[in-house]
Amino acid sequence: MTYQALYRQWRPQTFAELVGQEHVTKTLQNALRQGKLAHAYLFCGSRGTGKTSAAKILAKAVNCEQGESVEPCNQCAACQGIQAGRVMDVLEIDAASTRGIDEIRDLREKARYAPVEVRKKVYIIDEVHMLTAEAFNALLKTLEEPPNQVLFILATTEPHKLPATITSRCQRLDFRLIDFDVIKKRLAEVIAAVGRACEEDALNLIAEEAAGSLRDALSLLEQVLAYAQGTVSSEDVLAVLGTVGRDVFYELTAAILNRDLAKALLLLQDVAVSGKDFQHFTQQAILYFRDLMVVLACGERAERLGIAADWAPKLYQQAQALGLGEIGRILSILHELLSEIRWSNRPRLLWELAVFKIFAFEDLAEPPTYTQTAATTEIVPEKQVDVPQAPEVAVPQQITAREQLVRQWPRILDEVKKESIKCHALLLSGELGNFDGKNLEICFEGQFHYDMMEGEQNKKYLENVLERIFGKKIRVCCSLGSKPEKVKNVEQENNPEELIQTALEIFRGQLIDESEKE
């Protein structure tokens, strides 16, 4: 007998073996027990969650020679023939390749005839959303009032693509993603059955990579078993997947906490040299920081949300040091990176830019210091030669935090205007005060503008924009009377037209022509 893939060997044969879908199996078994089976079912859910397996089990249950029961016997000729695909009255159709109106018309004609081998004809149409609009229309009447001896089971991963006229004629059952622990338990059973051993960390990696699909988990396990020699280790799984372990992300987070930019860049260098896929690496990073967020928010209950028990203390320590706000900011940067990296041929560069965004803004202005020790050599006196004095070259000074703010101010004003026109108008009437990188002072000459900026969430608008641009929280405070550098632009002076426009934006007024009133 030819070898069968693991997911085919371990395909569920009864409702009891259909793990992770108890809500579906209970509904179908109760319908069988009460004799109230619907004429058409719509199975919806992600790949590898058991839709086609459930359809075949249901087909066996209604045609079992022991009579309709909540479980097929799997011993009679009907059950074994359906499982092997030999019964002509149970037809499994792939709608991706059989999607035209002619095929559906042929199906509709054959449905009129009585079954030959079993009690009921069962049509299992997989990926039904791939049918053409004409094919759906041809199926409507038969689906609404099928012959008594016919049962339709439609399966799809994208139910939103189905016409409402189809879904309204079916009883819909949604298959959920299979829980992490359920997949892990099933994998352990398979490994024990094939006579191999597997480390706990390796099982965790496979179950996590499966993302709720038991079929994907079994396919990956089969690949790892073929690769590994003896006991399956986490290194074997990582080698097959072409990814990195959690230790890499732990070190990356430690580098962020220690403000060690060089260490973070060296980690990216190791990932690039080892030939890892940066898109998958980004997805793993997002999951790692998600785990940090979950651990910090849920504490001891985090294990119920898929956090490994041996990693929970380490994650909690890092999450506490970062804080929810910083974790959320890093996740936003990584999500933006994931959308960009899919279309880039320079993924490493995009990752390096993302690391620069993650680190605090002012830290990047300070270059690392290098010390070089010169070898001691004997100095031989040379003949003095008169050389013309070269002109002194001015060494550029390090840019201060306030100068950085002044350069970014036009952009800040534009972003504030998108949030609040009133706040933008108030800033135009104010002046830039002191800025130390953490606290920003806005000065106003008049009490009215000062009070307006202090209230009505106007400071909050500015603080939100500053946090987006500089990547950290900056506190805004207002003062009266002092006159530092103008906020709106150093090179521009206020003119009457701008002052009038500012007043109109603050008070939401309009100009009236006095000559028209007369």
Rounded Cα–Cα distance for residues 214 and 50 (Å): 8
Rounded Cα–Cα distance for residues 83 and 77 (Å): 10
Structure confidence at residue 503 as a pLDDT band (50, 70, 90): low
Annotate 370-396 with DSSP letters as a single string.
Answer: ---PPPP-PPPP------PPPPPPPPP
Rounded Cα–Cα distance for residues 151 and 43 (Å): 13
Same domain, 94 and 197: no
Task: Judge contact between 287 and 327, C-beta under 8 A.
Answer: no
Residue 444 resides in a domain: yes
pLDDT value at 383 more than 60: no
Radius of gyration for the chain, computed over Cα atoms and rounded to the nearest angstrom: 34
Rounded Cα–Cα distance for residues 43 and 51 (Å): 6
Q: What is the pLDDT, as a whole number, of residue 300?
A: 67
Structure confidence at residue 450 as a pLDDT band (50, 70, 90): confident
pLDDT value at 397 more than 70: no
382 or 23, which is more confident:
23
| Strand residues in 386-482 grouped as ranges (E) | 431-435, 439-444, 475-480
Same domain, 141 and 195: no
Same domain, 324 and 197: no
**Which tokens is 321 given?**
């040091």
Digit-coded pLDDT (tens) for 251-271: 999 999 988 899 999 999 998
Residue 380 resides in a domain: no
Q: What is the pLDDT, as a whole number, of residue 113?
A: 87
**Which tokens is 34 given?**
């009460």
Same domain, 61 and 160: yes
Q: What is the pLDDT, as a whole number, of residue 392?
A: 45
Structure confidence at residue 491 as a pLDDT band (50, 70, 90): very low
- Residue 461 is inside which H or E element, if any? helix 458-470
**Which tokens is 278 given?**
């940066």
**483: CATH:** 3.30.300.180
Percent composition of the chain: helix, strand, coil (DSSP 3-state, to 5): 55, 10, 35
Rounded Cα–Cα distance for residues 460 and 185 (Å): 50
Digit-coded pLDDT (tens) for 159-198: 999 999 999 999 999 999 998 889 999 999 999 998 989 9
Residues contacting 312, CB < 8 A, separation 6+: 295, 302, 303
Structure confidence at residue 24 as a pLDDT band (50, 70, 90): very high
**Which tokens is 106 given?**
């042929």
Same domain, 51 and 108: yes
Amino acid found at 195: G
Mean pLDDT over all residues of the chain? 82
**Which tokens is 35 given?**
């004799």
Residues contacting 47, CB < 8 A, separation 6+: 157, 213, 215, 216
Tell which residue, 432, 425, 423, has the closest CA to residue 404: 432
Task: Judge contact between 108 and 139, C-beta under 8 A.
Answer: yes
What residues does 477 pair with on adjacent strands? 441
Residues contacting 137, CB < 8 A, separation 6+: 101
Backbone angles phi, psi at 408, to 5 degrees: -85, -5
Q: What is the pLDDT, as a whole number, of residue 462?
A: 85
Pairing of strands 40-45, 150-156: parallel
Residue 395 resides in a domain: no
pLDDT value at 518 more than 60: no
101 or 289, which is more confident:
289
Q: What is the pLDDT, as a whole number, of residue 142?
A: 84
| Poorest-pLDDT segment among 36-40, 67-71, 144-148, 398-402 | 398-402
Rounded Cα–Cα distance for residues 108 and 204 (Å): 47
Integer CA distances (angstroms), 142 to 96, 135, 166, in order: 20, 12, 11
Residue 109 resides in a domain: yes
Q: What is the pLDDT, as a whole number, of residue 13?
A: 92
In 111-259, alpha helices (H): 133-144, 164-167, 180-194, 200-210, 214-227, 234-241, 246-257
Digit-coded pLDDT (tens) for 73-116: 989 999 999 988 889 999 888 888 877 888 888 888 888 888 88
Tell which residue, 494, 496, 504, has the closest CA to residue 512: 504
Distance linking the first and last C-alpha atoms of the chain: 104
Structure pTM?
Answer: 0.63
Tell me which of 175, 200, 223 is where a domain ends: 175
* Other beta carbons less than 10 A from residue 122's beta carbon: 25
Same domain, 348 and 421: no
Residues contacting 438, CB < 8 A, separation 6+: 474, 475
Q: What is the pLDDT, as a whole number, of residue 393?
A: 41
Tell which residue, 102, 104, 163, 91, has the closest CA to residue 139: 104
Same domain, 223 and 258: no
pLDDT value at 322 more than 90: no
Same domain, 355 and 503: no
Structure confidence at residue 381 as a pLDDT band (50, 70, 90): low
Task: Judge contact between 172 and 159, C-beta under 8 A.
Answer: yes
Percent of the chain having pLDDT more than 90? 27
Rounded Cα–Cα distance for residues 459 and 476 (Å): 6
Same domain, 82 and 226: no
pLDDT value at 235 more than 80: yes
Residue 144 resides in a domain: yes
Most confident range (mean pLDDT) of 103-117, 358-372, 480-494 is: 103-117
- Residue 92 is inside which H or E element, if any? strand 90-94
> Residue 264 belongs to what domain range?
246-360
Same domain, 76 and 101: yes
Structure confidence at residue 375 as a pLDDT band (50, 70, 90): very low
pLDDT value at 387 more than 50: no
Integer CA distances (angstroms), 149 to 42, 83, 93, 143, 272, in order: 18, 20, 18, 13, 60
Tell me which of 175, 198, 215 is where a domain ends: 175
Structure confidence at residue 427 as a pLDDT band (50, 70, 90): confident
Same domain, 30 and 158: yes
Task: Judge contact between 72 and 61, C-beta under 8 A.
Answer: yes
Rounded to an integer, the average pLDDT of 272-300 is 86
Tally of structural domains, the chain: 4
Rounded Cα–Cα distance for residues 373 and 396 (Å): 25
